[in-house]
Amino acid sequence: MANRTLTPEELAKANELLDLIRERLETLSDGDRALLFAYRRKISKELTYDERSKPMERKRLKKLKLEEQGGLCPICSMKLPESYNVLDRLQAVDGYTPENTRLICNECDKKVQRERRYA
Ligand SMILES: [Zn+2]
């Protein structure tokens, strides 16, 4: 299933919210460029965690999936390397849960991403 996208009306609302957030950040930082940078980075990081979970949670999930899968990539059946493996969400909207993810090798991830772009 492809990820949900925004309708033109929803996109307009998202852009309004973004403008509002930018205004608030400008007010909060009061002309201090370094502070604006720090606030912007903090907000950006937290929103990314809302979408992708925190790094420690993903790391824990990767370890669990590696054990569950017997150390193998479920697509090519090759032994997964120690690092650079990818947690692939079956449905992006359902997040990084054990039920919604599989740990795949980097090469298979590239193929999966390519296929999804053309789907
Ligand atoms: Zn693979």
Return d(Cα 85, Cα 77) in angstroms, integer.
13
DSSP three-state, residue 2 = coil
Same domain? 32 vs 70: no
Same domain? 114 vs 63: yes
Return d(Cα 29, Cα 31) in angstroms, integer.
6
Same domain? 114 vs 102: yes
- Torsion 104-106-111-114 (CA) sign: positive
100 C-alpha vs ligand 1 centroid, how far in Å?
Answer: 18
* 19 part of a folded domain: yes
- Total domains in the fold of the chain: 2
Same domain? 36 vs 82: no
54 C-alpha vs ligand 1 centroid, how far in Å?
Answer: 24
* Residue-range definition of the domain harbouring residue 25: 8-52
Confidence of residue 119 (pLDDT cuts 50, 70, 90): low
* 28 part of a folded domain: yes
Q: Which residues of 36-56 are buried (b: 16+ CB within 10 A; e: fewer)?
A: beebeeeeeeeeeeeeebeee
Residue 118: pLDDT above 80? Answer: no
97 C-alpha vs ligand 1 centroid, how far in Å?
Answer: 20
62 C-alpha vs ligand 1 centroid, how far in Å?
Answer: 15
40-97: per-residue pLDDT in tens? 999 999 999 999 999 999 999 999 999 999 999 999 999 999 889 999 999 989 999 9
Whole-model pTM: value is 0.79
Confidence of residue 1 (pLDDT cuts 50, 70, 90): low
Return d(Cα 83, Cα 35) in angstroms, integer.
35
Domain boundary at 52, 70, 86, which? 52
